[in-house]
């Protein structure tokens, strides 16, 4: 039996960057293929090339044997490819039912007013995806999950041969994930070929027939979800290599009132759930690692603690609520975040960036702290007069951490410090973190995808997945369970 969708040698370049390199796969009727990989792997680019949103530089995209590579999007859609976008952009003046009717008759809008069969079919589709009770309402009045259901309803209405589904579970609660899994499975039952794009194997493992893993635009592995989870290359991509834990002294802060206590934290971005009932605590002197894949909610958690995003639930610092405090006030109280994006002043020198961090100290205090940081990150001492934007990625990360440490934080929050860094820089950064842990009483809350960096320095570990904390324990136990839980 020939495949409904056959991709071969697909390559896409953006200038000198090869976003997708020689990717190929097939999907038969009634089959779901999961396409996984960390952010920047090329998953979305593959999907856009299939849909005609991006034109591939090489390769073929065959739909029922017809090569549609490079065709305009509307022709590919008419040929039988539908897409369910992660973010919904509905027409705000049309009801849910009218959106579905439009999808049923994309090429003959005049029939909308006269064909009663269209209305009946639209109502059936609304019932199938769970929108019957709200089908006469406008999109702006609906919760995020219902807007995602609308995207699925429109895909059902078009009845495509091939369905592309982008990050289907992002922003959904666990109950909503189960509902959406059933709806996506119904595409397979109807004989469609489905390409499901997601970050990790675990998110799609129970739903897909096969998984193809990508990294930096290239093929890594393909097989069943279990086979891909056991693949050493996939584990290295997601976990950063072999997981090791180091001996660590007991921290007195473990048994005392937590320095930081987060309870029932919830954050919404528009109608999407970014954090759902998250609770963590950090004792004085502890190194606590929060690990999770991209998009799990780590940055949102840190931004809520730092006062940068509105939230529900409570955050207590030294036994007192942080509610009502400004981000600047929270930083002055001792919680300092080193963001994933670094936020350096690129045209200012290394020394000027560091001086900004120490501006609230006396000259003597700032000088003492600066000399200590130059011992911790010797490369910064030799780069003092160099503009920050001219530093390498690793040097910029060291500068960002050093600038945060110039404020003498009681709690240092590090968000994805290893992102995009070469192995030799990771080793230097790891040594600096261990020096910090062994020689100071600073408390650290570290957010990382790379668990081989996060574990050796941690006293405790939290795993965050789809906006919720799903596991807590010591690093040794995490190492035993990492394959099953993290991937």
Q: pLDDT tens for residues 425-479?
A: 777 888 888 888 888 888 999 998 877 778 887 888 999 987 889 888 888 787 6
Does the pLDDT value for residue 225 go beyond 90? Answer: no
The segment with the largest mean pLDDT, out of 103-107, 208-212, 229-233, 391-395, is 208-212
Is 252-334+409-486 the same fold as 5-239?
yes
Query: What value does the mean pLDDT take over residues 145-170?
Result: 85
CA–CA distance, 44 with 41 (Å, rounded to integer): 8
| Domain-wise residue ranges, the chain | 5-239, 252-334+409-486, 352-407
Task: Report the Cα–Cα distance between both ends of the chain, in Å, rounded.
Answer: 33
Q: Compute the distance between CA of residue 257 and CA of residue 368 in angstroms, rounded to an integer.
A: 31
pLDDT at residue number 66: 92
Q: What is the mean pLDDT of residues 9-23?
A: 89
* Cα distance between residue 177 and residue 169, in whole Å: 6
**pLDDT at residue 400 tops 60:** yes
Average pLDDT over residues 298-302: 93
What is the Cα–Cα distance from 284 to 146, expressed in whole angstroms? 43
Whole-number Cα distances in Å, 89 to 99, 123, 172, 258: 11, 21, 17, 43
SS3 469: strand
CATH superfamily for 252-334+409-486 is: P-loop containing nucleotide triphosphate hydrolases (3.40.50.300)
b/e per residue, 169-178, with b = 16+ CB within 10 A? bbbbbeebbe
Whose tokens are 């509902």? That residue is 179
Q: Please tell me the distance from the alpha carbon of residue 199 to that of residue 293, in angstroms, as a whole number.
A: 7
pLDDT at residue number 253: 46
Domain 5-239 -> CATH class: alpha beta
Per-residue pLDDT at 89: 80
């Amino acid at each position: 039996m020939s495949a409904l969708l056959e991709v071969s040698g697909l390559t896409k370049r953006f200038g000198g960057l090869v976003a997708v390199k020689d990717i190929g796969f097939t999907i038969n009727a009634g089959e779901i293929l999961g396409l996984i990989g960390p952010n920047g792997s090329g998953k979305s680019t593959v999907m856009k090339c299939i849909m005609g949103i991006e034109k591939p530089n090489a390769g073929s995209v065959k739909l029922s044997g017809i090569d549609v590579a490079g065709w305009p999007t509307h022709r590919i859609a008419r040929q039988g490819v539908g897409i369910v976008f992660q973010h919904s952009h509905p027409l705000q003046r049309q009801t849910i039912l009218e959106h579905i009717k439009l999808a049923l008759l994309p090429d003959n809008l005049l029939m909308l007013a006269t064909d009663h069969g269209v209305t009946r079919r639209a109502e059936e589709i609304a019932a199938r995806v769970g929108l019957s009770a709200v089908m006469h309402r406008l999109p702006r009045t609906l919760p995020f999950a219902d807007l995602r259901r609308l995207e699925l309803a429109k895909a059902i209405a078009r009845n495509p041969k091939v369905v592309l589904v982008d990050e289907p579970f992002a922003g959904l609660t666990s109950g909503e994930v189960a509902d959406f899994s059933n709806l996506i499975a119904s595409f397979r039952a109807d004989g469609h070929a489905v390409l499901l794009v997601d970050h990790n194997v675990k998110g799609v493992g129970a739903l897909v027939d096969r998984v193809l893993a990508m990294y930096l635009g290239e093929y890594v592995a393909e097989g069943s979800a279990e086979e891909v989870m056991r693949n050493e290359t996939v584990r290295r991509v997601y976990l950063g290599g072999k997981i090791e834990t180091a001996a660590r002294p007991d921290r007195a802060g473990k048994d005392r009132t937590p320095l930081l206590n987060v309870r029932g934290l919830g954050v919404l971005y528009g109608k999407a759930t970014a954090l759902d009932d998250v609770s963590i605590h950090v004792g004085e002197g502890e190194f606590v690692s929060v690990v999770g894949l991209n998009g799990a909610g780590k940055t949102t958690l840190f931004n809520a603690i730092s006062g940068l995003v509105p939230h529900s639930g409570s955050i207590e610092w030294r036994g007192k609520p942080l509610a009502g405090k400004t981000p600047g006030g929270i930083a002055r109280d001792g919680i300092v975040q080193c963001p994933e994006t670094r936020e350096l002043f690129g045209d200012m020198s290394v020394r000027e960036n560091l001086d900004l961090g120490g501006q609230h100290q006396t000259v003597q205090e700032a000088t003492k702290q600066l000399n200590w940081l130059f011992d911790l990150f010797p490369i910064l001492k030799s780069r003092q007069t160099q503009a920050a934007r001219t530093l390498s990625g690793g040097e910029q990360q060291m500068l960002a951490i050093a600038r945060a440490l110039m404020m003498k934080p009681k709690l240092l929050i590090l968000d994805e410090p290893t992102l995009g860094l070469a192995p030799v820089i990771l080793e230097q950064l790891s040594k600096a973190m261990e020096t910090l842990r062994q020689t100071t009483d600073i408390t650290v809350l570290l957010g990382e995808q790379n668990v081989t960096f996060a574990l050796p320095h941690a006293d405790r570990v939290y795993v965050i997945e789809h906006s919720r904390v799903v596991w807590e324990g010591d690093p040794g136990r995490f190492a035993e369970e990492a394959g099953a839980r993290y991937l």
